[in-house]
Amino acid sequence: MYSFLSKLLADKKSGEIFTLFSVWHFIYIVIAVLTSVILLTVFKNKDVPAKKKLSKTLIDISFGLYLADFFLMPLAYGEIDIEKLPFHACTAMCVICFLSYRINFLEKYRTSFALLGFISNLVYLIYPAGVMWHAVHPISYRVIQTLVFHVLMSVYGFTVLVFEQNRFNIKKSYRDLIVLSLMVLWALLGNYAYNGTSGDYSHFFNWFFVVRDPFNMFPAQISPFIMPFLNIAIFFTAEIAIYLIISAIRHFKK
């Protein structure tokens, strides 16, 4: 059984490989856009409970897919990929959004979690560096699982933005700043806990890009002192821009 599943899920290295803005890449982007449009069309006139149920169902599926991956990775790669631990915004927001429907304290921050999750997953969907680095066939499990997950999380964030936009208030954007700051601290904890060398273990992670500049604009020695604050500034600016778009939409609807 293991041999069959391992061959089925293992990276396929021969033939075509997944590349940026290839036909396969655009297929996933189109799937995300079409799914969002279809859900918007079907649910726009539904009542609030139905819209909330849709968002909850999407995050439940996303979390289930994320969790299942930890059981399938040993079959696909022969080990659990530590990179998939929830220290990137994409995966961390999946977990925390899932919990926000079950823990009352987190509920008031749900839109902030969903907003950060939407931006981070959309960025990854547009530039899926993680799967490109492995240079595998577009129908490999690694590619399918990773991009389907990010499609689902992007669509989830979109549904929250559209169907719960009344909960988005720029006066409460301080909550987004709190969530961003905590995300940076969480990523720093993960990076400094798991980075290092000991015996056969040797890893360097850059979760949420808080210890190294991904574009090599800053020297490695000073990046850890710049990137945490730069990340907060960039993401918060993007979130404020979305707030302004939502406000403009509300204005034109009046």
How far apart (Å, rounded) are the C-alpha atoms in residues 167 and 153?
A: 19
DSSP string over 170-191:
GGGTHHHHHHHHHHHHHHHHHH
Cβ 59 vs Cβ 97: under 8 Å: yes
Mean pLDDT of the 51-64 span: 96
Token couple for 130: 């993680």
Is it the case that residue 254 has pLDDT exceeding 70?
A: no
How far apart (Å, rounded) are the C-alpha atoms in residues 217 and 210?
A: 13
CA quadruple 103, 105, 111, 116: dihedral positive or negative?
negative
Give the domain range for residue 14.
2-253
How far apart (Å, rounded) are the C-alpha atoms in residues 11 and 70?
A: 16
Question: pLDDT: is 226 or 245 the higher one?
Answer: 226
Number of domains in the chain: 1
Q: What is the pLDDT of residues 24-51, one digit of tens each?
A: 999 999 999 999 999 999 998 899 899 9
Burial of 170 (0-12, 13-18, 19+ CB in 10 A): middle
CB atoms within 10 A of CB 96: 25
Query: What band does 216 get if pLDDT is binned at 50, 70 and 90?
Result: confident
Partnered with residue 197 across adjacent β-strands are: 202
pLDDT of 165: 72
Q: Given the structure tokens 């302004």, which residue do they identify?
A: 244
Q: Given the structure tokens 């990076």, which residue do they identify?
A: 191
How far apart (Å, rounded) are the C-alpha atoms in residues 87 and 79?
A: 18
Question: pLDDT: is 2 or 126 the higher one?
Answer: 126
How far apart (Å, rounded) are the C-alpha atoms in residues 85 and 70?
A: 9
Is it the case that residue 84 has pLDDT exceeding 70?
A: yes
pLDDT of 111: 93
Mean pLDDT of the 64-74 span: 97
Q: What is the pLDDT of residues 154-210, one digit of tens each?
A: 999 999 998 887 677 788 899 999 999 999 999 999 999 999 999 899 999 999 999
pLDDT of 12: 87
Is it the case that residue 251 has pLDDT exceeding 80?
A: no
pLDDT cut 90: percent of the chain above it? 80
pLDDT of 164: 83
pLDDT of 230: 96
Q: How many residues does the chain have?
A: 254
Cβ 231 vs Cβ 242: under 8 Å: no
Query: What band does 250 get if pLDDT is binned at 50, 70 and 90?
Result: confident
CB proximity list for 63: less than 8 A, separation 6 or greater = 94, 95, 97, 98
**In degrees rounded to 5, what are phi and psi of residue 197?**
-130, 130
How far apart (Å, rounded) are the C-alpha atoms in residues 236 and 5?
A: 43
Nearest to residue 208, comparing CAs of 117, 132, 133? 117
Question: pLDDT: is 45 or 68 the higher one?
Answer: 68
Query: What band does 142 get if pLDDT is binned at 50, 70 and 90?
Result: very high
